[in-house]
Structure 1
Amino acid sequence: MSHVAFLGGGSFGTALGILLANNGCEVSIYDRKKSVVNDININRKNDKYIKNLNIPKNVTAYNDLDETIKDAKFIVLSVPSHVIRAVSSSLKDKISEDVVIISIAKGIEEGSNLRLSQVIEEELPNNKVVILSGPSHAEEVAFDIPTTVVVASRDLDAANKVQDLFISKNFRVYTNDDLVGVEVGGAVKNIIALAAGVCDGIGYGDNSKAALMTRGMAEIVRIGIKLGGNPETFLGLTGMGDLIVTCTSLHSRNRRAGFLIGKGESTEEAIKDVGMVVEGIKACKAFYEIKEKLNVEMPITDVLYKILFEKKDPKEAVVALMEREKKNEIYY
């Protein structure tokens, strides 16, 4: 079977590494923290990110990048969106053109507002890029709980190879050639999940969350179509599926951060308390800029931006959202 290298030994990278090892692959994981590398290699655990793991023996961790990627046929970028460019750049002149690059981050590059596949392609223009997305919390994938995801690429042959690589009895993988839709859905749902957490933190109920998720989906579709995505993609795993799981799950760091903000914490305090990257905060800033430039109406994103970056009171923000001028439900 294939040798697959993971760059980043966090929760999702480790979970997928276990999955591929159980599929028969030789898996290597690069992490800059020696404690993570030692925990994987010696204890067959990764307690920093997920407790009670049993990591197979065909998973090996390294502190050395060159050793990690040696002879790899697939490289998985299992790092947050804000370091995708740097990590991609670190692979220049180190890998051949037949190595497929897989990204599992869900976000937008801050500053350029490029989708992550575009960032990777700028740094590694000769390699095929595949995005893996969908409702897939690491804490469940790691313990073989049934999960379904989608892999998207401009090269369907590459997507098919990645589908074959990951698919298993409890991990079903679909393909999709709508790279724009898959990436936009995966990024914007984090914004809506943050907002859902804010509502939970304030103390609102099921009616509020249902309304937020439904109108949040309208924003995903609206901006996604404007950027060139297929409307049907947003009704699938990377749109509706990921939106549901991220807005409702206790595993969701975006929802958790929003909950803390709804309880009265500042953005900075919430990030510190969550202790991991909260992609929705960066995505909110990026899509606020994108929607302003393209003149796309995204009222939830708009008020969340004001909460996160202009210190608007969350309850006042909800009032402003509810008191907007009346509209027809269906419009794009």
Structure 2
Amino acid sequence: MENILYLGGPNIASEIYNKEYANARICGAEKWRKPLAKFLRQPHFIVWDNGDLVTHEVMGGLKNVYAIGAGMVASLTNESATSKSVYFAHCTSEMIFITHLLAKNPEKLAGPLLADTYVTLLKGRNAWYGQKLANGELTLDMGDSIKGKGMIQGVSAVKAFYELLGQSHLSILHPEEKKPVAPVELCPILKTLHKILISREVPTEAILQALRDETMNDPRDRIEIAQNHAFYMPSLLGQ
């Protein structure tokens, strides 16, 4: 991965184009990221550099996954701040859990990483897509390349992460049932998004049912599982 770089937010591309003040991070090998960060920096576009490429790549994909669900929740609850905050708590705990499987010492979901997730759930094209699906202005049959918006990356990312974490040879101990399960079984929001977008088993309203499941644990429990156990599985990304 010596020659791979990641450039991410927190920002919205259209607002950068309009020269609104923004921050970004470029991640990868030091010999590339530092000169490029300096080259890209402008008065309205401040670019930081960071060496944790894997965490940023994983989080960069996951934020698009969960942004679709955020858009659905916003539309289905008439922009309820409470419902959106409940969703945010659960989806970020799943993001942390998944990242600990894929990165050896992942950076915490805080600062720029958290801000990038927040802005994507707030206004990105994936959140917009989720809203339009939930209110009926778009349908899944229209595909994930939308005129005027481009590719909705979160749709294919839902499929990719679900299949990656659902492989039959992977297993972790379920904290309550005390039996081995695939990692995806501890990610109810990801599972629900897969049922809505990929297998098309349930309508968009299922995202609210997943949030309101009385058996769902405190999101903090999922984070503690990830942080307190040796979950890192380098084979998942061929490392």
Please give the TM-score of this superposition, normalised by the length of structure 2. Answer: 0.77
Q: Does 1:306 align with 2:195?
A: yes
Q: 1:33 — aligned with what?
A: none
- 1:270: how far off? 6.7
Provide the identity percentage.
25
**Cα distance change, pair 261–304 in 1 and its aligned pair in 2 (3 A):** same
Q: Is contact 2:21-2:44 (8 Å) kept?
A: yes
- Partner of 1:151, secondary structure, is strand
- Partner of 1:234, secondary structure, is coil
Aligned counterpart in structure 2 of residue 262 of structure 1, from 96, 120, 134: 134
Q: 1:253 — aligned with what?
A: 125
- Partner of 1:129, secondary structure, is coil
Q: Is contact 1:181-1:233 (8 Å) kept?
A: no
Q: 2:23 — aligned with what?
A: 148
Q: Is contact 1:246-1:255 (8 Å) kept?
A: yes
- 1:151: how far off? 0.8
**Cα distance change, pair 160–128 in 1 and its aligned pair in 2 (3 A):** same
- 1:305: how far off? 0.9
Q: Which whole-Å deviations, capped at 9, do the CAs of 1:175-224 have from their partners, x for residues lacking one?
A: 11111101011110011110011112223411111111221111111111
Q: How many residues align?
A: 203
Q: Which whole-Å deviations, capped at 9, do the CAs of 1:259-283 have from their partners, x for residues lacking one?
A: 1111134223374466410000011
Q: Is contact 1:194-1:280 (8 Å) kept?
A: yes
Q: 2:86 — aligned with what?
A: 211
**Cα distance change, pair 229–282 in 1 and its aligned pair in 2 (3 A):** farther
- Code of the aligned partner of 2:189: I
Q: Is contact 2:189-2:210 (8 Å) kept?
A: no
Q: 1:128 — aligned with what?
A: 3
Q: 2:157 — aligned with what?
A: 283
- Code of the aligned partner of 2:205: K
Q: Which whole-Å deviations, capped at 9, do the CAs of 1:93-144 have from their partners, x for residues lacking one?
A: xxxxxxxxxxxxxxxxxxxxxxxxxxxx6xxxxx722211112212111122
Q: Where do residues 1-332 of structure 1 align in structure 2 (5 Å cutoff)?
A: 128-153=3-28, 155-204=29-78, 205-228=80-103, 230-237=105-112, 239-249=113-123, 252-264=124-136, 265-269=138-142, 271=144, 272=146, 275-293=149-167, 294=170, 295-296=182-183, 297-311=186-200, 312-323=202-213, 325-331=215-221, 332=226
After TM superposition, where is structure 1 displaced by more than 4 Å over at least 4 residues in a row?
none
**Cα distance change, pair 203–318 in 1 and its aligned pair in 2 (3 A):** closer
- Code of the aligned partner of 2:220: I
CA distance in 2 between partners of 1:157 and 1:215 (Å): 37
CA distance in 2 between partners of 1:143 and 1:274 (Å): 17
- Code of the aligned partner of 1:298: C
Structure 1 unaligned regions, length at least 5: 1-120, 122-126
Q: Is contact 2:86-2:211 (8 Å) kept?
A: no
Q: Is contact 2:87-2:211 (8 Å) kept?
A: no
Q: Which has the higher contact order (CA 8 A, sep 6+)?
A: 2
Root-mean-square deviation (CA, aligned residues, Å) is: 2.0
**Cα distance change, pair 274–320 in 1 and its aligned pair in 2 (3 A):** farther
Which structure would you say has the larger Rg? 1
Deviates more, 1:139-148 or 1:318-327: 318-327
- 1:324: how far off? 5.3
CA distance in 1 between partners of 2:83 and 2:4 (Å): 38
- 1:234: how far off? 2.5
